[in-house]
Chains A and B, each alone.
Chain A
C-alpha cells in the first residue's frame, strides 16, 4: 500500500512538472536565443547517400516548387508505415531519411532518366533516386507526360548537412549568423502563419526568433498522445471496474441484483451501436447503429435532460423572491436578460423605433451581459482561479492524500 502510494506521488509529480514545463518553456533556449528582422538568408543543404553510390547534395530551397522534402518513416496507430515531413534540424547525421522532390508534371521525356517541365527545367535521376507517383512512394518504371510524379531517394543516410545562415539587422549594422545543427527558427507573426519554419521559408522583413531548440518543442505531440492514451485507458478501466462490480452483485444475488442486468444490456447496446457506426450511410449495419444512437440513446438522454426545464421552472418560482434590495436588483436584471434573449424582447419594445433602439430589451440585455456581467465575471474568475491554482498545487505535491492512496 505504501509502495503504491509512493509510486502515485512520484508519477503525479513528474506528470505535473512536465505539464508545467511544457506550458512555460519557450521553443528556443532563453538567454542564448535572439530575435531579429531578417535581411537575407543562405539556405541549408544536406548530403544523402544510398548504398554504395556517391552522396547526393540537396539544396533546401524552393525552385519551381521543387524544394527537396525530408521525410522520416514512422508507423501510424494501425501499424502501417507512413512518411512524415521533418525539418533539417530533426535529421541528424547518420539518420535514415527519404528525400522527395515534387510532385511535378513532365512536359517532355528526354530519356528514361531525364524529363523537362513546361518551363524548361530539366530533372534527371542520380544514382539512388527513382521516379515515383505524385502523391506517394509507388515506383514508376518510366516517366510519362501529363501525370503527376516525383523523384525519391528512399531510405538514404544523412552524410553531412549545412543548416545555412541568416543575415539580420542589428544596431551595429548587418550581421551574418550561421545556424547550428540544433538551431530552431521560429517565425513570429501576429496575423498569418507562424511557428517553426525552414530558413528558406523566411522572407526579408520577417521577424524571427533564432536559438537552440528546447526538447519540449519536439516532444509536445508525443506528450499529447500519451495523455490521450492514458485518458482512453481510464475509460476502459472504468468499464472493467463496473463490469466486475455488477458481476459480483449478480453472482451474490445482492439486493436489486436484477438492475445489474440492465448494465450489461446497456453495454451490449453500446457495442452494437458502435460496430456499425463507421459504415457508409444506407447500409444495414449503419441503419442498426443509427437506430440505437438516434432513436434509443438520444431519445432517452434527451428525455432525462428535458425534465430539467420543468424542475428549473418550479425552482425559479420558489427561489426568486424579492426580500431585499439586492434580490430586487438581481431579479430585475434576470427578467430583462431572460426577456431580451427571446423574440418577445424585440416584440415588446421595437415599437419605440430605431432612434430609441438603445432602450429595446435585447439591447439592454446585451449591455448587462457585456458590461456589468463581464466585470463581475472577471473578478469572479480571478478568485476562482487562485483557488484552482492552490488546489492544483495540492494535487501536484500529493497533499490531497485521498487521491494518492493515503487515509
Chain B
C-alpha cells in the first residue's frame, strides 16, 4: 500500500520540463494527424452570426481590428471567419484599428486580400481598410458621429471622400450607416458601450480571447453586447455556422478555426490531467505522512 502511495506521491513533483514536453506533443500531434471532434455552438456565437447575417444591404459592417501577432492564434481565425462571412453575404465592411499595435491594419489587410481572392471582392467597393488611429475612447464617439473626420484617408492613402476610388465610402458617414460593430482583439474595449453609441442602436459584437471572456458575460446579459465569439472555439463554431448556411460556397480550406480548436482541446486536456495528477500526488503524500505518523505512534 505504501509503495503505491509513494508512487502516487511522485505525481506532486513532476518536473516542469516533463509538463512542457507532454504539452508540446499533445498540442502538436493533431497538426500531423488531423481529427474532427463535435462542437456545440454557443448561443453568443449564434447571436453574433445572426446579426452579421441579417445586416441591411444599405449598411456596412464596421470591424475594429486590433489584433496583433501576439494574439493571432485566437483572433486571426475569428477575424478571417467574419471577413469570409461578409464577403459571402455580399455585405460591405470597413475595417479600422484604434490604439493597437502598428502592424494590426497590415495583418487585417493580409486576411482581407486572401479572402477577396476567394470570393472575387474588390477593394473600395466591397471593403475599405481605414488604417490606425489613436485616442480612445474619445475617438470612438467621433467614429459614431463622423467617421470621415476621424479617418480622412484610408490605409492606402486614398481620401475617404474620393468616391471614385472608394465608392463604398459615399454612403458611410456615421453610426446610422453601420449594421453592427465588431471589436476583434485579445481584450475588446468596453468603452465602445459608453462612447460609440450610448443608446445601443448599433449592435456591438465582441471577438475576444478565451481567457478573458468571463469578464464580458455581464454585458451580454445587460444587452450592451449582443453577441460574442470566444477564442479559437468561437471561431470554429462560426466556421461551422458558415458551413451550415453556405455549404460548398464556403471555401473552408486554410481556415484556422477548425484547424486550431483540436490541438487547443488536447492542450486543455493535458493541463486538466496534470492538475488532477498534482492533487492525487498531494493526497497520496498526505496519506503517506499520516501512515508514517501512525506507524511511529504504534512503535511508541
A: residues with CB less than 8 A from B are: 19, 22, 76-78, 80, 82, 84, 135, 189-195, 220-221, 223-225, 227-232, 235, 270, 273-274, 277-281, 289-290, 293-294, 297-302, 304-306, 309-310, 312-314, 316-318, 320-322, 331, 335, 338-339, 341-347, 350, 360, 362-363, 366, 369-370, 373-374, 377-378, 381
Contacts and interface: CB of A to CB of B under 8 A. Distances in A.
Contact of B199 (A190, A274, A304): A190
B107 A321 contact: no
A135 B163 contact: yes
Contacts of A335: 272, 275
Main secondary structure of the interface of B (DSSP, over half): helix
Contacts of B156: 278-280
Contact of A313 (B141, B271, B282): B271
Contacts of B270: 313
A279 B231 CA distance: 32
A227 B135 contact: yes
Interface string B37-79: 1111011000000000000000000000000111111000000
Interface in B257-278: 261-262, 264-265, 267-272, 274-275, 277-278
Main secondary structure of the interface of A (DSSP, over half): helix
B291 interface: no
A348 to B, nearest CB: 10
A205 B142 CA distance: 29
A221 B142 contact: yes
A171 B24 CA distance: 74
B233 interface: yes
Nearest to A75: B152
A360 B40 contact: yes
Nearest to B17: A314
Contact of B135 (A224, A290, A317): A224
B3 interface: no
Contacts of B161: 82
B23 A78 contact: no
Given A224-B141, A302-B73, A317 B19 contact: yes
Contacts of B145: 195, 220-221
Most buried by B among A82, A317, A346, A347: A317
B153 interface: yes
A350 B20 contact: no
B217 interface: yes
Given A82-B161, A190-B199, A346-B39, 19 more contacts: A224-B138, A225-B135, A225-B150, A293-B103, A297-B103, A298-B69, A298-B72, A305-B71, A309-B23, A310-B20, A314-B19, A318-B278, A335-B275, A341-B268, A342-B265, A343-B233, A344-B269, A345-B40, A374-B221
